Amino acid sequence: MLYLDYLASTPVLPEVLVEIERAFKDCYANPSSTHSLGLAANETVQAAKEYIADKIGAYPSEIIFTSGATEANNLAIKGLAFANQNKGKHIITSAIEHKCVLNICKFLETKGFTVTYLQPTKQGIITAEAVENSITKDTILVSIMHVNNELGSINPIQEIGEVCYERNVLFHSDAAQSFCKLNIDVLDMNLAAMSVSAHKFGGPKGIGFAYIRDARNCEIEPVIHGAGQQLEIRGGTLASPLIAGLHKATEHFKFDHDELLTIRNEFLALLESKRIQFKLNCEHNLVNVINIQFLNERVSNFLSDSLDICVSKGSACSSREIKPSYVLTAIGLTSDEARNSFRISFFDRSLLTFAMTIHHV
């Protein structure tokens, strides 16, 4: 089995597993309870908030735990849109956001909002200029992802943040693919909201968070109404063992850019030396992501049919669809080129074994 699909999900880190087991045993009380065990569970939650907040230049009170990035995107985009609709009803996003963001925007269109879907450059980038040119006096929110989940392309979040600051528009970014891989400073990036998911960096599935600027005073509509937890922004008993796991993953996940770049370069050199014909769909991207077209149909068919080589055609959520990836067609690929394309995401030298495997096809 070759696992090369780390953008879809990562295995839980060993330290995280140990921590989750500890927290399930020690932190079973409800973190909202005021007895000693409840206070212990709450301490675990607060420690996680402090660590995460410190990592992104936020306050602990600005971290709102969710079930993952899908829910965080729902909270940030719907929550900010509904709470600010008296100021305007125009939203700007991109045509290559994660499907959940596109579906949230589609839903908001049925509620009277208008949405501009910006087209990317051929390298999968949304420029600050494109954002600036689309802002109107009715614009209340810009939502542009940090790293694209199919291409690994990296958007100029700081520049987009500056434009939003100058035009007084709220800025949200889906950072599910960048948190713990690229530096994030919510103040420098002028982020009003940001979404993160633990299972993208060695944490458990079912937990993530939304950063909400000045959450105590922010105008935001909850998506999940509850019994007053998390400043009434997100109801539901806090999943303290999963939060402990998210905390540990944030501490222990390693993203060694130089080492990953060496493996990537060795892989591409190996393909060339073995005369495997290919084309990269995106060149300047997150270093452990390779979105690649194989020009030999035998290789494409082999990868499409193989159950033991875990790579992705398009993104995982839509990879069972027959349609070519909307992200690849948005950057100008034909349907055939998109169909012969694969997203390879790696963290170790098993990428080189992959090159040798396809050489023998």
DSSP at 224: S
- Smaller CB distance to ligand PLP: residue 8 or 41? 8
Alpha-carbon distances, residue 159 vs 96, 131, 192, 250 (angstroms) = 19, 10, 15, 26
**b (16+ CB within 10 A) / e for 209-233:** bbbbbebeebebebbeeeeebbbeb
- Smaller CB distance to ligand PLP: residue 300 or 345? 345
Geometric angle at alpha carbon 212, from 171 and 84, rounded to 5°: 60
Provide DSSP, 23-47.
Answer: HHHH--S-TT--SHHHHHHHHHHHH
> Restricting to residues 183-222, which ones interact with ligand PLP according to CB under 6 A?
197, 208
| Least distance CB 6 / ligand PLP (angstroms) | 11
- Smaller CB distance to ligand PLP: residue 128 or 176? 176
Strands across the sheet containing 278-280:
278-280, 289-294, 341-345
Task: Please say if 317 is a catalytic residue.
Answer: yes
Residues with Cβ within 8 Å of 196's Cβ and at least 6 positions away in sequence, in order, are 69, 72, 175, 176, 179, 208, 209, 210, 211
> Restricting to residues 37-76, which ones interact with ligand PLP according to CB under 6 A?
68-70
| Least distance CB 302 / ligand PLP (angstroms) | 25
Residues with Cβ within 8 Å of 288's Cβ and at least 6 positions away in sequence, in order, are 6, 152, 255, 260, 264, 345, 346, 347
- Smaller CB distance to ligand PLP: residue 66 or 190? 66
| Least distance CB 213 / ligand PLP (angstroms) | 19
Please state, in angstroms and rounded to a whole number, the distance separating the CA atoms of residues 17 and 63: 23
Based on the shown chain and the rule CB under 6 A, indicate whether residue 345 belongs to the binding site for ligand PLP.
Answer: no
Which of 174, 186, 213, 293 binds ligand PLP (CB under 6 A)? It is 174
- Smaller CB distance to ligand PLP: residue 139 or 149? 149
> Restricting to residues 125-164, which ones interact with ligand PLP according to CB under 6 A?
145, 149
Residue length of the chain: 361
Based on the shown chain and the rule CB under 6 A, indicate whether residue 309 belongs to the binding site for ligand PLP.
Answer: no
Which of 74, 155, 177, 341 binds ligand PLP (CB under 6 A)? It is 177
| Least distance CB 352 / ligand PLP (angstroms) | 25
Quick note: the x/- pattern for ligand PLP over 258-297, rule CB under 6 A, is ----------------------------------------
| Least distance CB 18 / ligand PLP (angstroms) | 22
**Given its phi and psi angles, is residue 22 left (phi above 0), alpha (psi -120 to 50 degrees) or beta?**
alpha
Amino acid at 42: N
- Smaller CB distance to ligand PLP: residue 53 or 286? 286
Amino acid at 34: T
Please state, in angstroms and rounded to a whole number, the distance separating the CA atoms of residues 312 and 296: 18
Q: Candidates 127-135, 170-178, 241-249, 331-339 — which segment interacts with ligand PLP by CB under 6 A?
A: 170-178
Based on the shown chain and the rule CB under 6 A, indicate whether residue 5 belongs to the binding site for ligand PLP.
Answer: no
Q: What are phi and psi of 191, to 5 degrees?
A: -85, 130
State the catalytic residue, choosing from 100, 180, 282, 317: 317
| Least distance CB 357 / ligand PLP (angstroms) | 26
Binding site for ligand PLP (CB under 6 A): 68-70, 98, 100, 145, 149, 174, 176-177, 197, 208, 317
Catalytic residues: 317
